[in-house]
Structure 1
Amino acid sequence: MIRVNSLSVGSRLLPLSLDVDKGQTLHVIGPNGSGKSTFLSAIAGLLDCTGEVYYGDLSVKESSVALLASYRAFLSQSDRPAFNLMVAQYLALSVPNSAQHDSRTVDEVVVELATLLELQDKLHRPIHHLSGGEWQRVRLCAICLQVWPSLNPHAQLLILDEPAAPLDIGQESLLYRLIKKVSDMGITVVMSNHDLNRTLSYADKVLLLNKGVVQQYGPADEVLSEKQLSSVFNTEVIKATVNDKPVLIFN
């Protein structure tokens, strides 16, 4: 379980508390500038903040970055590094130290992830020769290696900051298959997201922020109401039903 108690970051994020159970997926939503990335960086232990965050019994505030890296992985919004490597070499940098000696298991996980993310033909390509969507899928593969249970038995949390932003609609489907796979293995996933229909379909819990203030936290169908979304995003939102599934329509 991930527990957040009275977490705040100056005026950027006012105090909030929540729990996310093992294997659940939490989507953090809100307009640009609402505090989504600040929240994710804070629970990753990368920002000075007040309040408490726990991964199970592990206190984030009392732990070193090196120790936290054994319990969580954080995919930020960032460009590719200045140095150039083959994809396989880049992935090797994310393999946990405890798994370095077990090359057979590492190879099996890399093949599984590369297949899931359709990267099989990219492993020996330089990272600077990749498109934006290809590079993002490589980053997703690498960050999952850090918390894959067969490589890291301590892993509890995967944090993703707008992971779908560089992906096309087909690649985005691969992303959500990956998230389902990770959560089914008992890893909690916390991610920011702008596609509210994806949130409606895939999130177990939703945190809605606006200007650093919590508007609501709870199940997706409760948080994603027409009235609340219309108010927070300052546009008309209608919830309709298509093929027996709820769909949000934006005017």
Structure 2
Amino acid sequence: MISLHDVSIKQRVVSVTGSIPSGHSCHILGPNGAGKSTLLSLIAGLLIPDTGQVLIRDAAINTYSVDALAQFRCFQQQQQNTAFNLTVKESVSFFGQRLSIPDYLEHALEIHTFMHRPINQLSGGEMRRVQILRCLLQVVGALERGEALVLLDEPCQGLDYRHQLLLFELFAQLTKQGNTLIISHHDLNHALHYADTVWLMKDGGLHASGNTKDVLDPLRLSEVFSCHVQRFDITQDHALFQTCLE
């Protein structure tokens, strides 16, 4: 689905090369300022690299029209402002161009309890759920066909534990259907349990990439995040990371 070949933007992203197959969930991890948001913007086609090339479905991203990309690629950015004082229902209808929310999205995002409240009266977590919903509704047809590319920059920002888990269960469901998800965040445990592959960034470069369990090595993570990272194996199939300052 996605491949990057020696992609760079001066002082932001350095020589990133990698690929993500269709139907996979790739989690991008790294400290603040590592280049995660910039890399997502490059993959989304919102930024043009100084060098290198981004390919989607074996075609350079700049060969797609804006309309063609919007049919199957959506991008929830970390910072989003709503210019209009709409209710949630009006906002969803305006941005998603539909009046109803598919049951599987409503189950994961639980929007119905505040559908008639103005956007500017929502909590940070409620607003984040609305933003994710609007993002997914943009490509809902492609999602249901298992053909969507979903890019999310720190989607759990402001969410409580329940809604984080509901969200990542939704992501797992979407990838099982064949959709490709690329998600940046800071939770090692979510990555361990939900990512098919991990891209670990540091200083604008790709420090490591590949199989989740291989990339999430405690020594490597301790180096990248400049703190002590320990992995505790609870059972054969379940583990947890704990972090602390040394």
Choose from 178, 185, 196 the match for 1:193.
Answer: 185
1:228 equivalent in structure 2: 220
**Is the contact between residue 143 and residue 179 of structure 2 (CA under 8 Å) also seen in structure 1?**
no
Cα distance per residue 1:93-143 (max 9 Å; x no partner): 333xxxx6xx6xx6362x442232111222222111211111111111111
Matches within 5 A, 1:47-58: 47-49=47-49, 50-58=51-59
**Is the contact between residue 70 and residue 152 of structure 1 (CA under 8 Å) also seen in structure 2?**
no
- Structure 1 spans left out of the alignment, 5+ residues: none
The number of residues matched between the two structures is 242
Overall identity of the aligned pairs, in %: 36
SS of equivalent to 1:93: helix
2:93 equivalent in structure 1: 92
Amino acid at match of 1:55: I
Distance 2:172 2:120 in 1: 29
Structure 1 stretch 37-46 or stretch 121-130: which is displaced more?
121-130
SS of equivalent to 1:70: helix
Structure 1 stretch 149-158 or stretch 175-184: which is displaced more?
149-158
Structure 1 residue 181: deviation in Å? 2.4
The answer to whether residue 4 in structure 2 is matched with residue 31 in structure 1 is: no
Amino acid at match of 1:234: S
1:249 equivalent in structure 2: 242
Amino acid at match of 2:68: L
Distance 2:111 2:194 in 1: 24
Cα distance per residue 1:43-65 (max 9 Å; x no partner): 10111212222221442122333
Structure 1 residue 152: deviation in Å? 7.5
Matches within 5 A, 1:110-189: 111-149=103-141, 155-189=147-181
Structure 1 residue 210: deviation in Å? 0.5
The answer to whether residue 206 in structure 2 is matched with residue 205 in structure 1 is: no
Distance 1:150 1:250 in 2: 38
1:68 equivalent in structure 2: 69
Amino acid at match of 1:11: Q
**Is the contact between residue 3 and residue 20 of structure 2 (CA under 8 Å) also seen in structure 1?**
yes
Supply the RMSD in Å over aligned alpha carbons: 2.0
Cα distance per residue 1:82-102 (max 9 Å; x no partner): 32112122112333xxxx6xx
Cα distance per residue 1:175-199 (max 9 Å; x no partner): 1122122212211000101001111
**Is the contact between residue 149 and residue 185 of structure 1 (CA under 8 Å) also seen in structure 2?**
no
Amino acid at match of 1:159: L
SS of equivalent to 2:129: helix
Amino acid at match of 2:243: F
Structure 1 residue 37: deviation in Å? 0.5
**Is the contact between residue 25 and residue 188 of structure 1 (CA under 8 Å) also seen in structure 2?**
yes
Structure 1 stretch 184-193 or stretch 234-243: which is displaced more?
234-243
**Is the contact between residue 27 and residue 183 of structure 2 (CA under 8 Å) also seen in structure 1?**
yes
Choose from 88, 101, 107 the match for 2:100.
Answer: 107
- Structure 2 spans left out of the alignment, 5+ residues: none
Amino acid at match of 2:183: M
Structure 1 residue 77: deviation in Å? 1.1
Distance 1:247 1:115 in 2: 27
